[in-house]
Structure 1
């Protein structure tokens, strides 16, 4: 196929996608067009905000166990351990992000990775973020069963302008926004019952440690010493009566 004909096909595909901006088919069509440039296996459109992740759309072929894991386990608390959510809450801004650049050093050793990410996202993930206001960020997460190559990442970044522009315009037509889930997620409910056990600082350390950050990374983020982090960690394990991350997950997420 000649370059001119390829360009014609691309422009026609883009025109068809723009025409679907007000259609329920938009998100799937957007990912399908991204797939013409880089193959992805899983995807989800969602909104990150304070203590909440709201799912807008995901692929129609999603199996039931994956659907439950996303709409219940992830939304009801696991998102708090998602490296993309953590990075967004620390510094919310629009852009393209690759898991390799934001994941903590021990991410692949976490229970979140073992019991959720490796099963339902697979081997790698990228995300387009569009800041909507002071609290909310629109996200399109794309997962792959194999690691994205440097060329893949370069292509993702190359197509970023039109992908993110269409994402932002889509919000004018998004009908899935219902103000979010009014029910408190699992983590929040349990934490409210443990107000007398854990301090605010201990909660910060707990979430960072179980998200895969090393003692040194936690210390740098919170501007405290490594020994202080270790002391807090010992106290946390004692207060929660746990000895491992697997026990932590059993206590908080029943996974």
Structure 2
């Protein structure tokens, strides 16, 4: 990276604040340290679906619409940003649950059909109860992994990037909150999911599986034996007529994508009823 080129691009970023040119210019600035196959910027508001602020160029086979509608709730970066105290630059492999690589394969193959092999995210909180901006930089299979020295440089630049983003968001009006009915659908869905079909322990196991945790990690978190966790998983699968983790993931995303507000009952009730009807003939 040449200092002159960096300075010129930084000036373009500053001059584009408050306009649609801002995030393309910012992603180009970050990409001067190392090329990224994908650059996506998302705005997450509390209890609302994400707003796509920028996507440089949709990659072949991408189904990003399904991510924006439902699958984002399983994204480790989204879950991290919700905590509100984890701003900074993070590599996916550093924040993902134990054994996440296997879960990620299910996740990406279902909703994006991409083989993302490396991902770095900027988490930029917008203020108390205002949500956060997530800047995603990703490499697909066959590309060079992000170098450690580049990630360190991005981390060193975080405060500058944070201030640029905060100033931009204050200037623009693209981040108006959406309606209550749309916004709270996801919260209601997650609160009701498994609440009537599952026992308390089955639901604990279910929620941790949706976060990408393996059986060992679930047993450790719930302070249960491995065989006990496997038993709860087996019972859960039987109730839903499935036999694997990817099927559970696909079911969750499909039900959420087809839900309408308000969600007042367990979305799994029709699924379990159909399984029971088939079983009893």
Indicate the residue corresponding to 2:234 in structure 1. 234
Q: Which moved more, 1:84-93 or 1:148-157?
A: 84-93
Indicate the residue corresponding to 1:206 in structure 2. 206
Secondary structure at 2:98 match in 1 = coil
Q: Is the 8 A contact 1:97 1:127 kept in 2?
A: yes
The structure with the largest alpha-carbon Rg is: 2
Partner of residue 177 from structure 2, selected from 172, 176, 179: 179
* Equivalent-residue separation in structure 2 for 1:92 and 1:241 (angstroms): 39
Cα distance, 1:157 vs. partner? 1.6
1:28 paired with 2:24, answer: yes
1:133 paired with 2:127, answer: yes
Q: Summarize deviations over 1:78-111 as a string: whole Å, max 9, x none.
A: 1122121233335642111101101223222221
The 5 Å alignment of 1:105-254 reads 105-110=98-103, 111-116=106-111, 119=114, 122-135=116-129, 136-145=131-140, 146=143, 147-180=145-178, 182-183=181-182, 189=189, 192=192, 195-198=195-198, 202-221=202-221, 223-227=222-226, 228-254=228-254
Could you list the runs of 5+ residues in structure 2 that have no partner in the other structure?
A: 258-281
TM-score normalised by the chain length of structure 1: 0.80
TM-score normalised by the chain length of structure 2: 0.74
Indicate the residue corresponding to 2:93 in structure 1. 100
Secondary structure at 1:166 match in 2 = helix
Cα distance, 1:200 vs. partner? 6.3
Secondary structure at 1:198 match in 2 = coil
Secondary structure at 1:138 match in 2 = strand
Equivalenced residue count is 246
CA gap 1:179/1:49 in 2 versus in 1, 3 angstroms = closer
Cα distance, 1:240 vs. partner? 1.8
Could you list the runs of 5+ residues in structure 1 that have no partner in the other structure?
A: none
CA gap 1:240/1:141 in 2 versus in 1, 3 angstroms = same
Cα distance, 1:14 vs. partner? 1.3
* Equivalent-residue separation in structure 2 for 1:19 and 1:163 (angstroms): 14
CA gap 1:63/1:90 in 2 versus in 1, 3 angstroms = same
Q: Is the 8 A contact 1:96 1:160 kept in 2?
A: yes
* Equivalent-residue separation in structure 1 for 2:120 and 2:193 (angstroms): 35
Cα distance, 1:39 vs. partner? 0.9
Q: Is the 8 A contact 1:77 1:187 kept in 2?
A: no
Provide the alpha-carbon RMSD of the alignment. Answer: 3.1
Q: Is the 8 A contact 1:205 1:232 kept in 2?
A: yes
